Amino acid sequence: MSITEPRSRKLRADAGWFGQYALPGLLGSLFMSVGALGVGWFPLSAYVLQWNLIEFMQTQTLGLALTRSFVVVGAALLLQAWLVVGIDALHDKITRLETIYFSFIAWCIPLMFAPPLFSRDVYSYYMQGKMQLSGNNPYESGVSVVPGWFQSGVDPLWGDAPTPYGSVFLLIEKALAFISGDSALAASYLFRALAVSGVILICVNLPALARAHGINPITAVWLGVMNPLVVMHFVAGAHNDAIMVGVMFLALRFALKKQFVISVVLATIALAIKPVAIVMLPFLALMAAGNNSNWTRRTRYASFTGIISLITLLAVSVLSGTGPFGWLSSLSTPGAVKSWLSPTTATGMLIGEIMKLLGFGNLVDTSVQISRLVGSVLLAGVLVLLVLRPAGRSAARGIALSLVALVVLGPVVQPWYLLWSIPLLAATGLTHKQVRIMVLAVAAFTIHGIANSSATADTFLDLSDGIAMVLAGLTLGVAMLASKVERSLILGDSSEKDLLPSDRDSQLVAKSMELT
C-alpha cells in the first residue's frame, strides 16, 4: 500500500490534465493550422494552390480575413494555455513530467500537417540542396542560380545570398532535396520532421541537465521546451536551429557522462549545422578538465578539443564537398536584414535617424555599421571573460550566457534566436525575477510573431517591425491588467517557486557542477 500510494496521489494530482492543459493548446494549434492554409507558405508550384478552398483562403478578402483571424486567435489560445501550465508547474500542482510532454505533443500535432508558418526559410534549405545536386556551391552563390527557384517558395531576399550554414546541414539539405525530388512542399515536411527530431532531442536530454543542476525538470521543460516560440518556430516554422539546439543538448548529455570525445564531436556537428554552436567548445574543454583544475590542464583539454573538432570538421567537409570553413565567408548573410529587434542595429538606426533629422544627411547605414562593430567588440570581450573567468558557474550555464550575449550584441535578432539559450537557462536555473523576464520575453515575441508583416504572408497585418513591437508591448500590458494568469506569472506571488535548487541535496548537486 505504501509503495503505490505516492504514485496514486501523483495521478490524482494531475487528473484532468488533458482538458486543463492539453486541450486549450490543441485548439490553439488547430486554429493556427487552419489559418496556415491561407497565410502560411505554399510554393507557387504547389498543386494544392489550385484547390478551390485553398484558392479562396489565399486570394479572397473574406478567406484571408478568416485565416488571419484563425492564426491570431490560435496563437492567443496557445500562449494562454502555456501560462496556465506555468502557473501550476511553479506552484507544484503538476507532479509528472509526462503531463508536460503529452500536453506538448497534443499542441504540436496539428501543426505537423500545416504548411510552413511564420517563415519560409525551409524552402531556402530545399533549394540549397537542389543547388548542390546541380553542382553549385551554396557558399559561392545564392539559390537564384537554380532555374525555378522563385516558384519553390524561396524569399527573394535570400535569392542571391550565400548560405550561412555549416557543412553538416548542407549534407542534410542535399539528402532531403534528393528524396523530395521536384516537390518543394514535400521537402518542407521532411525538414519539419528534422526540426521536430531536434525538439525531441531537447525533450529527452533537458531533464537530465536540469537534475544535474538541482532544478525541477518539470518547470525546466515547461519553460525551455513547451513555450509557444518552440511550437511556432521550431515546429510550424521548421527552422534548422531546432536540430542544432537538439544536438547541443545531446553533446551536453555525453559530457555529463564524462564521454569527452563524443561530446566534442557532437558539439562540432552542431556548429556544422549553425556556426553559433561554436561557443560550446571551450566550455566542454573546461568541463572535461574538471571543476578544480588548473589552467595548464584546462589549456591541454582546450587543445584536445580543438584537434578533435578540426578533424570532425574536415571529415564532414570531405563528405559535403564544400570545404570545412566556407561558412566563414557568409557569416554576414543574416546581417543583411536591419531589424529593430537587434539592440545594436536598433541603436545604429536610431542614431542615424536622429542625425538625419538634425540635418547631417542620411548616415543610417554608417551608424548601423559602427554600432554593430561596437557590439561585436563587446561580444568578443564578454565571450572571453565567460571562458577565462568561469568561477561560480557550470559549463552549461557558461554556454547559455554566451548564447545570450550572441543575441543581445549580435547584428541581427530573430524571435527563434531566443531558443538558443532559453532551454539551457531553464535547465541551469533562474531566479523569480529572471523567470518573469523570460516569460515576458516569450509572450512579447509570440505576439510580435503574429503582428510582424514577415511572420506569415506578405500581406498579413502589414505592420512594420517597430510598430509590431509596440503592439506586442501594448497587448501584454492590457493582458497583465486584465488576466489573473498573466499578472501572476509576470509579477509573481509568494507561493510560487523559482527555477533554483529547492533543498540542501539539490543545492549540493548544483554546487558540484560549478567551475572554480
**DSSP-assigned letters across all residues of 295-313:** HHHHHHHHHHHHHHHHHHH
pLDDT per residue over 281-299, tens digit each? 999 999 999 888 888 999 9
Taking alpha carbons only, the member of 207, 298, 308 closest to residue 249 is 207
pTM above 0.85, yes or no: yes
Cα 430 from Cα 500, distance rounded (Å): 6
Query: Which residue in 287, 241, 290, 294 sits closest to 264, CA to CA?
Result: 287
- List the one residue out of 194, 295, 289 whose CA is nearest residue 247: 194
The single-letter DSSP state of residue 499 is B
The per-residue pLDDT for 233 is 93
Q: Do 26 and 110 meet the contact criterion of CB atoms below 8 Å apart?
A: yes
**Which residues of the chain, if any, have pLDDT below 50?**
1-12, 453-465
d(CA 223, CA 30): 22
Alpha helices per DSSP H over 225-279? 228-229, 241-256, 260-271
Give the whole-angstrom CA distance, residue 495 versus residue 143.
54
Q: Would you call 211 exposed, middle or buried from its count of C-beta atoms within 10 A (0-12, 13-18, 19+)?
A: middle
Distance CA 130, CA 175 (A): 9
Instruction: Compute the half-sphere exposure of residue 350: CA atoms within 13 Å on the CB side of its CA.
Output: 10
What separation in angstroms does the CA of 191 have from each of 25, 37, 215, 261?
A: 23, 18, 32, 28
Domain ranges of the chain: 4-122+185-513
Q: What grid cell was written down for 138?
A: 551554396
Hey, how many other C-beta atoms are within 10 angstroms of the C-beta on 306? 14
Averaged pLDDT score across all residues of the chain: 83
pLDDT at position 495 is 61
Q: From residue 231, give the alpha-carbon distance in Å to each of 50, 99, 140, 149, 192.
A: 28, 17, 33, 28, 11
Say how far residue 369 (Cα) sits from the centre of its chain. 26
What pLDDT, on the 0 to 100 scale, is given for residue 424? Answer: 96
Hey, CA dihedral for 339, 343, 349, 353, is it positive or negative?
positive
> Which of 446, 386, 380 is closest to 418 using CA atoms?
446
Coil, helix or strand for 194? Answer: helix
Q: Which of the 8 DSSP states describes residue 62?
A: H
314 neighbors 286 (Cβ within 8 angstroms) = no
Burial class (CB in 10 A: 0-12, 13-18, 19+), 21: buried
> Which residues share a beta bridge with 514?
394
